[in-house]
Amino acid sequence: MPSMMKQARRKIDSALCSPTVAGPVSRLITSHLRTRLEGTRWTSEGQQPLAEHVRAGNGVIMVLWHGRLPAAPIGWDTDWGKLCVVTSAAIPGRMVGRVMGQFGHDTIPMRERKANTGTSLQIARMVRGGTSIGFAADGPVGPARKAKSVPIDWARLTGAQIWLFTASYRNYSCIKAWDKMALPISGDEGIMLYRRWDAEIPKKLGADMREILRQRLEDDLNALTLEADQRMGHETLIN
């Protein structure tokens, strides 16, 4: 019986990965998301210095929480420069990649619990070449709002600036998932906030300093996200 279940699961996974199935599903998701995003009255703050820095040919590392991903496709203007979004290599992550692709962004998959040395080196070359990288600090499976140190390691390796991004909405709905992903209700207000992370990252980074910086990144991203939520009328974080 376990063998049959594994075979059935492999067939399902194979079907979900095939362009025949994944293409229409991703287009349906994109259409629904686009309707919500384009129907929202947005206020954006802090993006001008980011745009100027990127237009000058500098790649940056954009960091947000997984629960705020729905706003990410329009949080980056393709006129600024190229953005490559890091996703999970698992099926949900690949679907996110397809959706981001339909908004004009590139994606690169990384495997959970793998070294990903080759992918990390590829990302470093991309950033040095002027491509910016988008990364959910708590992805792909959480815990929610618990930052990983990966963006810090990439910034140390490339010398690129880290920018924090978040979005919030006056009215919203949440997906029943580990991160309670929030989506705007079309026809209402939303806000996007951009902020350069000003922490100094030394070239030689020991375990203790890495943890100090990781915790600061987590705290600062939570603070920015709470600010966005409060400006949309919520007392506490919405997810």
Give tens-digit pLDDT for 27-37: 888 898 999 99
- What mean pLDDT do residues 213-221 have? 98
Q: How confident is the model at residue 101 (pLDDT cuts 50, 70, 90)?
A: confident
Residue 111 has pLDDT above 90, yes or no: no
pLDDT at position 76: 96
> What's the average model confidence in pLDDT over 94-101?
83
Count of Cβ atoms closer than 10 Å to residue 100 Cβ: 23
Distance CA 125, CA 130 (A): 9
The secondary element (H helix, E strand) that includes residue 91 is: helix 91-102
Strand partners for 182: 174
Q: Given a cut of 70, is residue 119 above it in pLDDT?
A: yes
pLDDT band for 210, please (50, 70, 90 cuts). very high
- For tokens 């698992």, name the residue: 90
Token pair 């140390």 in the structure block, residue: 156
Asked if 84 and 77 count as a contact pair (C-beta separation under 8 A), the reply is no
pLDDT band at 165 (very low <50, low <70, confident <90, very high): very high
Q: Would you say residue 8 has pLDDT above 50?
A: no
DSSP, collapsed to helix, strand or coil, labels residue 25 as helix
